[in-house]
């Protein structure tokens, strides 16, 4: 499972020209699900995301997490993160999870995030929709985080 996190001043998802979800200070997470991923991977990645220290402390060092600052999380399903870009000039998607598996693990990830942060601090995109994502990247600060399920070597 892959998560691209961006520290944001705000972020929002629009579907059919309507704001679907939005957050203020926090993290935008683009979530990619691969075939070997499972609920364990979702829980591990969620724990890592909400505890990842990317916010400045009193000395300006990245030493505070989303939990530490009381920030929000916007989780957006991102099928293309599971692309194989190792060769050629066209991405391959043979390692991407099926839509049913990916949607289930996306929902699992959101549920775990809501348990840790509370429902009011977790927003989400709409699985399978044509979404427009707007954000103000703070820094910019962007990291790619990866974890594997119980059967994966990541």
The pLDDT tens digits of the residues spanning 27-63 come to 999 999 999 999 999 999 999 999 999 999 999 999 9
Residue 154 lies in a domain: no
From 55, 78, 106, 124, active-site residue? 78
* C-alpha distances in Å from residue 65, one per residue of 4, 9, 89: 15, 15, 37
The pLDDT tens digits of the residues spanning 103-133 come to 999 999 999 999 999 999 999 999 999 999 9
pLDDT > 90? residue 149: no
Residue 153 lies in a domain: no
Which helix (H) or strand (E) segment holds residue 107: the answer is helix 99-117
Residue 50 lies in a domain: yes
The pLDDT tens digits of the residues spanning 71-103 come to 999 999 999 999 999 889 999 999 999 999 999
pLDDT at position 152 is 46
Is 79 labeled as catalytic in the residue annotation? yes
Torsion angles phi and psi, residue 35, rounded to 5: -50, -45
* C-alpha distances in Å from residue 64, one per residue of 4, 70, 149: 18, 10, 27
pLDDT > 70? residue 154: no
Residue 16 lies in a domain: yes
Residue 129 lies in a domain: yes
pLDDT at position 148 is 82
Residue 65 lies in a domain: yes
Residue 41 lies in a domain: yes
**How far is Cα 8 from Cα 93, in angstroms, rounded to an integer?**
29
From 25, 79, 126, 143, active-site residue? 79
Q: What is the pTM of this model?
A: 0.93
Structure tokens at 112: 């775990």
pLDDT at position 151 is 46
Q: Are 53 and 27 in contact (CB under 8 A)?
A: no
Kindly give, in sequence order, each residue whose CB lies less than 8 Å from that of residue 119, ignoring residues fewer than 6 positions away: none
Closest CA to 108 of 47, 67, 153: 47
Is 89 labeled as catalytic in the residue annotation? no
**What is the count of structural domains for the chain?**
1
Torsion angles phi and psi, residue 55, rounded to 5: -105, 145
CATH number at residue 74: 3.50.80.10
Burial 42-58, CB ≥16 within 10 A → b, else e: bbbbbeebbebebbbee
Host domain of residue 40: 2-146
Residue 44 lies in a domain: yes
pLDDT > 60? residue 21: yes
To which residue do tokens 């399903």 refer? 77
pLDDT at position 153 is 45
């Amino acid at each position: 499972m892959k998560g691209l996190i961006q520290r944001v001043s705000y972020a929002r998802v629009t579907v059919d020209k309507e704001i679907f979800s939005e957050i203020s200070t926090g993290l935008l997470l683009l979530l990619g699900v691969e075939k070997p991923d499972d609920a364990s991977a979702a829980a591990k990645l969620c724990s890592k995301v909400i505890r990842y220290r990317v916010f400045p402390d009193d000395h300006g060092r990245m030493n505070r997490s989303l939990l530490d600052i009381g920030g929000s999380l916007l989780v957006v399903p991102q099928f293309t993160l599971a692309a194989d870009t190792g060769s050629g000039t066209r991405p391959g998607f043979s390692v991407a999870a099926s839509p049913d598996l990916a949607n289930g693990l996306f929902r699992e990830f959101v549920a775990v995030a809501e348990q840790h942060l509370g429902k009011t601090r977790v927003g989400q995109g709409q699985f399978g929709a044509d979404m427009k994502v707007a954000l103000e990247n703070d820094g910019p600060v962007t990291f790619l985080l990866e974890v594997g399920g119980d059967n994966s070597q990541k």
